[in-house]
Copies of this chain bind each other. A is one copy, B any other.
């Protein structure tokens, strides 16, 4: 295969067979197209013994909805390389990349057939007891080992260049930090939310904080982020979870990845009111989600702190007072970016199934209003909420309103 062309199912089969030993000789292969959006083609290639792999191909010069947003296929290289890098530091929770072809912008990965998409599971009020500790390990290891605590100045700079990812970052820069705070045509606002959304456009105190979070997103290359770590990028089963889809990966603020995940747990927490009719089940699920958020932060911060204490290779950053302040700053960023996720998922271009699945539009409107309120609180209070206990108190107060 040489010059780029969109894969047919036959191409995907050939690609999978050529670049993996999994199928062996004399396998009968079949191929199913799993999805096609404006960005990527995804195929499942299987043999007659039940073994399968995934082929993902980036479409060239893809355009996002509603906007002429050109994206080069180089995002496939970045996705493959972020996953390989994260796999190096946390193989247990990163989808395995078996091959990457630059010419075809195609990635061959393991098939997570035994896993389900986290968002779907959370919408269905399913609970995975070890999820948070697994995600905490993923975050602590991938973010720590790609940071200034480990890499020398020159090595880090080389990595920053390799993962600059300007096209994909621009999408986040606009959708997260600009659109929801002005009357942008890309925004998708349910009629019930119109008034609350309009308040955002005139909320200068909030906009000043969001400006800071955007400036940090632009100019705070702390670690190699996944960059799009919401609950559709996480696959789960009873034993394990794995992270996929790292096409937005770049060097950014650590709190962005942590906050995106926590923001998604909070979205589901708020949506449970409209998703789960049975009161006992709903309360149990909300309790589960709060405990996951708590565990996620506690375990992440403990592991990251322990890595700073024990594995810091940069002499000037070995100071323990500095390291404590560093974690405190990651905490504030985490709350801020979680808040941005709540807001942009409620009034911005890309909504989440958690809220959109609520059939009663009044209930959905009430949940969305709480999401906006909580998002604002998190952003405005990110420096004053000292710890997880205070965050939990804030959530409790919100549920009483």
A binding-site residues for B, Cβ under 8 Å? 148, 152-154, 156-158, 160-161, 164, 166-167, 169-170, 173, 177-178, 181-182, 204-205, 207-212, 214-215, 218-222, 315-317, 319-322, 325-326
* CB nearest neighbor in B for A216: B220
| A68 CB → nearest B CB, Å | 14
Q: Is the CB of B218 within 8 A of A178?
A: no
Q: Say yes or no: A177-B322 contact (C-beta < 8 A), given A156-B218, A166-B154.
A: no
* CB nearest neighbor in B for A154: B166
| A385 CB → nearest B CB, Å | 19
Q: Is the CB of B181 within 8 A of A167?
A: no
| A310 CB → nearest B CB, Å | 17
Q: Is the CB of A219 within 8 A of B221?
A: yes
Cα-based distance from A158 to B167 in the complex (angstroms) = 11
Given contacts A148-B218, A161-B164, A219-B220, 12 further A-B contacts (CB under 8 A): A148-B219, A153-B166, A156-B218, A157-B169, A208-B321, A208-B322, A209-B322, A210-B316, A211-B322, A214-B316, A215-B326, A221-B221
Q: List the number of copies, as a whole number.
A: 2
Q: Which residues of chain B are near A173, meaning CB under 8 Å?
A: 153
Cα-based distance from A205 to B161 in the complex (angstroms) = 33
| A45 CB → nearest B CB, Å | 35
Q: Which residues of chain B are near A167, meaning CB under 8 Å?
A: 154
Write 7 A-B pairs (CB below 8 A) sorted by A numbering. Answer: A153-B169, A161-B161, A161-B164, A209-B322, A210-B316, A211-B317, A215-B322
Q: Is the CB of A325 within 8 A of B208?
A: yes
Q: Is the CB of B321 within 8 A of A204?
A: yes
From B160, B177, B316, B317, A316 is in contact (CB under 8 Å) with: B177
Cα-based distance from A158 to B166 in the complex (angstroms) = 8
* CB nearest neighbor in B for A167: B154
Q: Is the CB of A211 within 8 A of B177?
A: no
Cα-based distance from A320 to B212 in the complex (angstroms) = 12
Q: Is the CB of B164 within 8 A of A325?
A: no
Cα-based distance from A53 to B379 in the complex (angstroms) = 55
Closest 9 CB pairs of A and B: A211-B322, A208-B321, A154-B166, A208-B322, A157-B166, A208-B319, A207-B319, A214-B316, A153-B170
Cα-based distance from A248 to B207 in the complex (angstroms) = 35
Q: Which residues of chain B are near A320, meaning CB under 8 Å?
A: 204
| A2 CB → nearest B CB, Å | 28
Q: Is the CB of A148 within 8 A of B322?
A: no
Cα-based distance from A75 to B222 in the complex (angstroms) = 25
Q: Which residues of chain B are near A319, meaning CB under 8 Å?
A: 204, 207-208, 211
Q: Is the CB of A316 within 8 A of B181?
A: yes
| A63 CB → nearest B CB, Å | 16
Q: Which residues of chain B are near A321, meaning CB under 8 Å?
A: 204-205, 208
Q: Which residues of chain B are near A170, meaning CB under 8 Å?
A: 152-154
Q: Is the CB of A322 within 8 A of B207?
A: yes
